[in-house]
Copies of this chain bind each other. A is one copy, B any other.
Amino acid sequence: MALKSFITVHPDSHFPIQNLPYGAFKTQHSTALPRLAVAIGDYVLDLSELAKAGLFNGPLLTGSDCFLQHSLNKFLAMGRPAWKEARETLQMLLSSTEPALRDNTELRHKALVPMSKVEMVLPMEIGDYTDFFSSMHHAKNCGTIFVGPQTPISPNWFHLPIAYHGRASSIVISGTDIIRPRGQGHPTGNSPPYFGPSLKLDFELEMAAVVGPGNELGKAIDVNEAADHIFGVVLMNDWSARDIQGWEYVPLGPFLGKSFGTTISPWIVTLDALEPFACDAPKQDPPPLPYLAEKISKNYDIALEVQIKPSGQKDSSVVTRSNLKNLYWTLTQQLAHHTINGCNLRPGDLLGTGTISGPEPNSLGCLLELTWNGQKALSLKGTSRKYLEDGDEVIFTGCCKGDGYNVGFGTCAGKVVPPRD
């Protein structure tokens, strides 16, 4: 029999009892510190209230203050046994047959807050943020545009999950305006480089893994144990200024073309909730080196969609549809590779997948690819775009379709605003 909550959840909701993603919220206009929650239907369920009521009574969470913290880091560090225990407790407390929360009016009123009354904030402190480059279609398209069609993908790409360190300070929560960056672009002829607001502002459709316990410096994580170090996944928009990036990135990689803002969705969907949507990862040829060879190599079937809503327009337009399963390198291979040199991961670290492009023209994950670096405009309802304009809101959604229910991510959205003076 399917799990069912005493809380009414619309069949289209992203947040049924099968999901229970984690986040952190403030009640609107409140100056209080954030509180931890899971999403259920149109509510956030305040975990601090449940903890104070003593309802986390399993062996690992009894007496723990992990849900009284203002970020998830402590809970993330506790690892999968604690995560599983919390999930079981929450599914039990929310089920239609369990009276402990259902029939406790006072607690229910304290603990269940309508989503419309809260402001979501970053759910964890992010020590380090890494961004991978794991979609072959994206790598091929970028290489064709920037390097040429002969050897678009560099030879290392098929041997290791290429990545770079990103900027942690400028990661913001969905709904935060993105200020168009200023910077240098390529000079023309003998002129000095262009300087001014970026003329090629782009989104990048990504997801990102949130790291659990992590490892100590010098001690690599085995690829077959890597899933125990991934708490869950968020949607991520790795906003990119293509003119700044194109001029600066040789030889040390992306820097100011990315570091002005990176948006993540407020809800972390756990690997446990995603497990029913696991699917085979693509066959890798050449076969990966032993430290990247997985006994079971999994992707997740998560349908992704990007919409753009220009300022003043009533409707947004879908500009691309992709899927996490388009990744060549899996999340667990990314994590294992990250630690093979001894680099330490810490709870709350964020590992971006890189832009998730699929093979079809309407499954490309950024405007650079969709407009082939501005060579052809993308048609929106009543207007068109080569790159983003001020006032454009970019909205990502992600969702797994179950039998009569969804496991979804909500949205990851941000509006482009002009530079400040």
User: Chain A: residues with CB nearer than 8 A to chain B?
Assistant: 127-128, 130, 133, 143, 146-147, 154-156, 159-160, 162-170, 172, 179, 181-184, 187, 192-193, 195, 217-220, 241, 244, 247-257, 259-261, 286, 289-291, 337-338, 340-346, 349, 419-420
Contact = CB atoms under 8 A, between A and B. Distances in A.
A68 B150 CA distance: 61
A256 B192 contact: no
Contact of A259 (B165, B241, B249): B165
8 contacts: A162-B248, A164-B165, A169-B345, A170-B344, A182-B340, A218-B420, A259-B341, A260-B341
A345 B155 CA distance: 35
Given A156-B248, A184-B289, A420-B219, A256 B169 contact: no
B341 A183 contact: yes
Count of identical protomers in the assembly: 2
Contacts of A159: 184, 187, 192-193
Contacts of A143: 251
A204 to B, nearest CB: 13
Contact of A163 (B127, B155, B181, B255): B255
Contacts of A195: 289-291
A172 B340 contact: no
B251 A253 contact: yes
A168 B350 CA distance: 13
A92 to B, nearest CB: 36
A195 B156 CA distance: 13
A169 B340 contact: no
Contact of A341 (B133, B182, B252, B343): B182
A259 B338 CA distance: 9
B181 A342 contact: yes
A142 to B, nearest CB: 8
A127 B126 CA distance: 9
A346 B169 CA distance: 7
A181 B217 CA distance: 10
A167 B128 contact: yes
A132 B193 CA distance: 20
A344 B169 contact: yes
Given A159-B184, A160-B184, A255-B163, A241 B341 contact: yes
A160 B195 CA distance: 11
Contacts of A217: 169-170, 172, 179, 260-261
Contacts of A183: 340-341
B166 A342 contact: no
Given A167-B165, A260-B343, A342-B182, A251 B252 contact: no
A301 to B, nearest CB: 27
Given A218-B260, A257-B341, 16 more contacts: A127-B127, A133-B252, A155-B187, A156-B193, A159-B193, A162-B255, A163-B252, A164-B165, A164-B253, A164-B255, A181-B342, A182-B341, A217-B261, A259-B343, A260-B343, A261-B342
A252 B162 contact: yes
A289 to B, nearest CB: 5
By Cβ-Cβ distance, the 10 closest A-B pairs, closest first, are: A253-B253, A181-B341, A179-B218, A165-B165, A164-B252, A256-B341, A259-B343, A252-B253, A260-B341, A260-B342
A169 B128 contact: yes
Contacts of A255: 130, 162-165
Nearest to A354: B252
Contacts of A419: 218, 342
